[in-house]
Amino acid sequence: MTRILRCAACTRRIKPTHAHVGLIDLKAPPGREISYHARPDCQQRGGEEMASHMQRGRVYVLRHYHASTCPDRAPSWGCSGGCFDAPLAVAN
């Protein structure tokens, strides 16, 4: 059984066909990840929430997940598949 992901900003489901961003706190319980849609409005709210969660001296991992339909062979933040059309600075 797979876990259903929900966006922490809009609380809507993150489907496999949606690109999303995840924040992992390495000292938190294993498997705990805060996820946000790759849409600009969710990224903006996600950036604000991430800043409020972060604490000095802790290690965090920020991951970006491409949509399952992404045709880009070497995906990056500006992938040609359209998952992340905006540069990284917009996600902050």
What per-residue confidence (pLDDT) applies to 85?
A: 58
pLDDT of residue 46: 81
| Segments forming the whole domain that contains residue 59 | 5-91
CA–CA separation, 69 and 81 (whole Å): 8
d(CA 42, CA 84): 13
pTM (predicted TM-score): 0.69
Residue in this structure with the two tokens 């294993």, named with its chain if needed: 30
Average of per-residue pLDDT values in the chain: 76
**Number of domains into which the chain is organized:** 1
Per-residue pLDDT tens for 49-84?
777 877 777 788 888 888 877 777 766 666 766 676
